[in-house]
Amino acid sequence: MILGVNVDHVATLRQARLGTEPDPAMAAALAILGGADGITIHLREDRRHINDRDLDVLKNSVPIELNLEMAATAEMIRIAKDKRPDLVTIVPEKRKELTTEGGLEIRSNKKAVKEAIKRLRGSGIKVSLFINPLEQDIEISREINADMIELHTGAYANETGSGAEKEFLRIENAVLKAGQVGLVVNAGHGLNYYNISRIAGIEGIRGLYIGHSIISRAVLVGIERAVREMKDLIDASVITQLKQRVAKMESARTA
Ligand code: PXP
């Protein structure tokens, strides 16, 4: 299971003084040393954190998956086609939000998202859609030719107790559904060192995309260590899940 590290919050700190440090490109290099499998940035219309220079530098320096989160606007499609990141994740974007608030309103924006996918894939860029874990949204994602989806885990992350359980089951079912329709499935948003293990234990998820919790920990322990600790939790969960599957197969064989 891959870990994509979002370095937007490093740029947010830089923008607090409108200066040059800390540099998200340096953070990306250290995240890679810590074991990141991908680097994610969200280029927003208002350039509130990541800017065009960051995209340029990262495109030319990141040797692993560079995932560009963006809205499906004409400006962003033009930039993506020009810079050619490895992956574009189409997200909804509102000017006043603190972070991406939910998955795409894919039912009402089907035509525009389909056109964006067509244009991006036409330039050889893989396209993922950030959607809520709903069957209908998964079916539409398949219908409009997305390569992948990223399931929004924010509702799971914000809940506790039976609420979290309900949201977890919703994600588990969505992963299953995505596999049935032939979509590669990722997950992200609100994942942290305490809630990651259950999600990382779901069979069929290709990758997890995490920003805030890793950068928050990095302020205290350094980026390399923060990424390594997250990666270790993910790996441990994947190994536990594999062992459980092997044990199940063994007991079915001997029954
Ligand atoms: N995935 C997507 C599509 C996002 O928009 C974000 C937030 O930028 C993340 C993952 C990471 O969320 P968080 O910062 O809560 O880990």
Given 9, 42, 49, 152, which residue is catalytic?
42
Name the band, by pLDDT with cuts 50, 70 and 90, for residue 99.
confident
How far does the centroid of ligand 1 lie from the alpha carbon of residue 12, in Å? 14
| Stated pTM of the model | 0.96
Q: Is 9 a catalytic residue?
A: no
Tell me: the pLDDT tens digits for 187-229?
A: 999 999 999 999 999 999 999 999 999 999 999 999 999 999 9
Tell me: the pLDDT tens digits for 102-150?
A: 899 999 999 999 999 999 999 999 999 999 999 999 999 999 999 999 9
Residue in 146, 152, 145, 138 with CA at minimum distance from that of residue 181: 138
- Percent over 70 (pLDDT), the chain: 100
Question: Are 91 and 127 spatial neighbours (Cβ–Cβ below 8 Å)?
Answer: no
Name the band, by pLDDT with cuts 50, 70 and 90, for residue 6.
very high
Q: Is 212 a catalytic residue?
A: no
Give the number of other Cβ atoms within 10 Å of residue 186's Cβ: 26
Tell me: the pLDDT tens digits for 29-43?
A: 999 999 999 999 999
Query: Residue 174 has which token pair?
Result: 């969505």
Domain ranges of the chain: 2-254
Name the band, by pLDDT with cuts 50, 70 and 90, for residue 94.
confident
Angle between helices 8-15 and 24-33 (to 10 degrees): 150
Given 69, 150, 167, 172, which residue is catalytic?
69
Cα 56 from chain centroid?
Answer: 20
CATH architecture of 2-254: Alpha-Beta Barrel (3.20)
How far does the centroid of ligand 1 lie from the alpha carbon of residue 217, in Å? 16
Ligand 1 closest atom vs CA 209? 10
Ligand 1: which residues within 6 Å by Cβ?
Answer: 6, 8, 42, 69, 89, 91, 99-100, 130, 150, 188-191, 209-213
- Mean confidence (pLDDT) of the chain: 96
Asked if pLDDT for residue 14 goes beyond 80, the answer is yes
Residue 125's pLDDT is: 98
Ligand 1 closest atom vs CA 89? 3
Q: Is 42 a catalytic residue?
A: yes
Given 9, 49, 152, 189, which residue is catalytic?
189
Tell me: the pLDDT tens digits for 63-72?
A: 999 999 999 9
Question: Are 112 and 133 spatial neighbours (Cβ–Cβ below 8 Å)?
Answer: no
The residue-averaged pLDDT of 162-182 equals 97
Residue 100's pLDDT is: 73
Give φ, ψ of 11 to 5 degrees: -70, -35
Residue 255's pLDDT is: 85
Asked if pLDDT for residue 95 goes beyond 90, the answer is no
